[in-house]
Structure 1
Amino acid sequence: MSIFHDHRKLFALAGSLFLFLTYFVAIRPALVNQKNNSPLPGTEPLHGDVLAGKKIYIAEGCVACHTQQVRNVDMDKAFGSRPGIPADYAHIRRTSLWANTATLTGTERTGPDLTDVGNRQPSKDWNLMHLFNPRSVVAESIMPSYEWLFEIKKNPGKNDVIVNVPAQFLSGRKGKVIATKKALQLVAYLQSLKQAALPGDIKPQLFLYKRPEKKTTGAKGATAAEGKTLYEANCQSCHQPTGEGLAGAFPPLKGSPIVTGDNLELYVDIIMNGYDARPEFGVMAAVGTNMSFTENDVAAIINYERTSWGNNGKTVTPEEIKKLMDFVKIKAAAK
């Protein structure tokens, strides 16, 4: 055959065959997948500072240690309310014509998965402190610090975002830690990472290989022991294992008049809807609402905090908390 003696025909045939196979093996299945997996209701494409923050996330190599995929195994329950599905990534587009770093699912979990970190850790103050020096909020963290995303100024400007980093993490430097635009954009991206609810009657995949659950005693899981687990998962990163908080950033729960006092309505309101204690402390996010706490959850956390670190407050029942939660929801909706 003459084709084997004419390199131009040979390369043209090989190239045509390659393009033909590429279309049917890669391009066409991708287009079909894109058509069959439309974005979930309520989700939007990234834009503005959030999109810029994603590019910084990529540039800083965060994907090397963090995944964004909740697998259908029980151990991944800590990272999302359901296993991930293709529709979770439907809004994602390539970052540029030349760079296809679109989905950041990752391959290694040196650090925790970030699929739903916007709900798990929505605090802007915490995220900024964590970027400046992870050990300032998580003593055992092996994550590197990203101090180059911050500046230290003796006289901050009116519009500067001040990060209340404890003095022991400043290495003797004087002044206030200021978050640069890049730091704020990166945090905006992290706060945007929230797992969307499935529409209608669509049921998520089940988590497989379930581990045996520990039985609890007392009022439907409202014991201090159950509250300790909830505290460690949702509160400890800010208020610390000792309950002493961080000076200038997060208030102490040890000896707190709110924790040990009689104003239970305020206590429940703070857990469910957050609290703005500026300028003394950073803004607390609506942890209870974000994590869909039940009255049992809130009662368990209160009982743990009221009986730990030397606190000696009165314990509560889920029934008491249910009434207050209903009232707090009505009050929050009226604002």
Structure 2
Amino acid sequence: MMDFFNDYRKLYLSALSLFVLLTILVAIMPAISNQNNNSPLPTEEVLSDAALAGKALYVANGCVACHTQQVRNLDMDKMWGKRPSIAADYASEHRTDLWRNTATLMGTERTGPDLTDIGNRQPSAEWNLLHLYQPRAVVAESIMPAYPWLFEEKAELEEGDVEIPVPDVFRKGVKGRIVATQDALNLVAYLQSLKQAQLPEAIVAPEFLYKREEKLKAATAGVDDLGLDGVALYAANCQSCHQANGEGLKGAFPPLKGSQIVLDDNPEVLIDVVMNGYDARAEFASMPAIGTNMKLSAAEVAAIINHERTSWGNNARKVSVEEVQKIMDLLKQTAKK
């Protein structure tokens, strides 16, 4: 026995053998098993060439250090996706090349929000580009660094240029036009591609752990929002563009404070904008179909618009869930024609 401990060759070979054995048992065999027993969901979309290039930029700029791409099976993660992430969500990921294993970008820390479903939560290209150029232009409390090197200044726009609607306060002496480079467009293409794939109808989506008690539906149709928190829903779905004060961003996103669309006694146009988006006037970026993308219910839409109609000095009447549901059904029927 002493001969074994005194012979460095035996000690070295024994330690190496144990390390190799444990690597095979703990890392390699489970990885092979996962690879053989999981496949991509049929609804998952293949990344475009631009999105693939954007993924490389996402890695190169260290985005994975602050953002996760994993919806944990916890109730607190419901805001990041409609369901917990499953192995199939990552089955289509492969090594970048022989030397780089950046297949999945699940991350380990949420200094910033999870991006698993950001393509649905924030599909606006204009918003994403402005957020990259200056995060505090859209989220005042953001600690994310700006990425101005992904943009260039031009005296005049050329054909194919994508100009960024940067508010004057964030232009910092820039007199020309701020235009996105191809790198910026590719990075945004990758972010827009991050959408949680729908499960096949035959598969029941797993429920989140520690699920909070569902609020009971109102017994009468006159209740305005079924007790949902309109402030929180607005913050999660609208605030990044229209801001907490409802004043929007001049030259980028229109204000809701004092808006005739918001204050109109007939909420049909407002609900149409929430559900189907709006190609705004030339001085504003277009709005994506937030309500449809996020599958907002009539109760959630009612809570959001009632918050908008009664905040920041707005004094329009509250809208009932029943009224919102009728308008949503009408919009669906109109879209089918």
Scaled by the length of structure 1, what TM-score is found? 0.89
| TM-aligned CA distance change 1:331 to 1:159, over 3 Å | same
Q: Which residue of 1 aligns with 2:263?
A: 260
Question: Structure 2 counterpart of 1:145, which letter?
Answer: A
**Cα distance in 2 between the residues matched to 1:272 and 1:306:** 17
Count of residue pairs the alignment pairs up: 329
Q: Residue by residue, what CA displacement relative to the aligned partner does 1:217-272 show, whole Å, maximum 9, x if unpaired? A: 89556179722221111001100011111111111111111111244322111110
The answer on 1:270 being equivalent to 2:276 is no
Structure 2, unaligned stretches of length 5 or more? 5-10
Q: Which residue of 1 aligns with 2:192?
A: 191
* Bigger mean CA deviation after superposition, 16-25 or 261-270: 16-25
RMSD, matched Cα:
2.8
The answer on 1:35 being equivalent to 2:36 is yes
Matches within 5 A, 1:1-335: 25-210=26-211, 219=222, 222=225, 226-334=229-337
Q: Residue by residue, what CA displacement relative to the aligned partner does 1:42-70 show, whole Å, maximum 9, x if unpaired? A: 11332300111100000000000001111
| TM-aligned CA distance change 1:174 to 1:112, over 3 Å | same
- Contact 1:162/1:176, CA 8 A, preserved across alignment: yes
Scaled by the length of structure 2, what TM-score is found? 0.89
Q: Displacement of 1:206 after TM fit?
A: 2.9
Does the residue aligned with 1:131 lie in a helix, a strand or coil? helix
Q: Displacement of 1:276 after TM fit?
A: 0.5
**Cα distance in 2 between the residues matched to 1:83 and 1:27:** 25
- Contact 1:224/1:307, CA 8 A, preserved across alignment: no
Question: Structure 2 counterpart of 1:205, which letter?
Answer: P
**Cα distance in 2 between the residues matched to 1:269 and 1:189:** 28
Q: Which residue of 2 aligns with 1:7?
A: none
- Percent of matched pairs sharing the same residue: 61
Does the residue aligned with 1:178 lie in a helix, a strand or coil? strand
**Cα distance in 2 between the residues matched to 1:314 and 1:172:** 43
**Cα distance in 1 between the residues matched to 2:333 and 2:112:** 38
**Cα distance in 2 between the residues matched to 1:216 and 1:306:** 23
**Cα distance in 2 between the residues matched to 1:109 and 1:15:** 36
Does the residue aligned with 2:229 lie in a helix, a strand or coil? helix
- Contact 2:223/2:320, CA 8 A, preserved across alignment: no
**Cα distance in 1 between the residues matched to 2:46 and 2:24:** 27
Q: Which residue of 1 aligns with 2:8?
A: none
| TM-aligned CA distance change 1:152 to 1:215, over 3 Å | farther
